[in-house]
Amino acid sequence: MSVVARLLDLHQTLTPTDHRTHRRYPFRVPPDSRQLEIWVRYAPKRLGKQESIALAEAARAEQTAALAPRVGEPLAAQWSADHDTVAKSARIVNLLTISLDDAQGVYRGANHRHADDQHLQLGSQLASPGLVLGPLPPGEWTLTVSAHTVASDQCQLSIQIDAEIAAAR
């Protein structure tokens, strides 16, 4: 017999100022925990077409300007023209990933997938790909969110962590 306890319930809004940052969220794993269930969701995944095109065009112009002094104006202009179709069809995405450290400071893995809605499991009998199977030492664990790309004005982040705990007999 077991009970389920909510260890972390987090809802935050990230902005472009969070781009290329790491946020650490501590949570306490109780003694006798058998399994962790972790849900990570964020939205939007993809920016709208017009917003994506504007960002891609700005990046292309910036890269062309930086390239010109090194390779000359004609070659930089050709490079820019060669990337015109890509810039006009680009769909820019937000990308957030997680990693996990246990109460003993041991790295328990990462989930660096592109999905914007993920359910992960970790315990001594089952671990989602990327996470390290093993006992769940009690104490303060840390989930780290790496904001590889936050390009939208706002990106809603939601994290829930539950523990299945052996019930006292």
The domain segmentation of the chain, as residue ranges, is 2-46+93-166, 49-89
pLDDT attached to residue 169: 62
**What mean pLDDT do residues 8-15 have?**
98
C-alpha to C-alpha distance for 169 and 97, rounded to whole angstroms: 39
Q: pTM for the complete prediction?
A: 0.87
Angle at 45 between CA 43 and CA 49, to 5 degrees: 120
Say which CATH topology domain 2-46+93-166 has.
Jelly Rolls (2.60.120)
C-alpha to C-alpha distance for 82 and 29, rounded to whole angstroms: 53
pLDDT in tens, 154-168: 999 999 999 999 987
C-alpha to C-alpha distance for 110 and 96, rounded to whole angstroms: 11
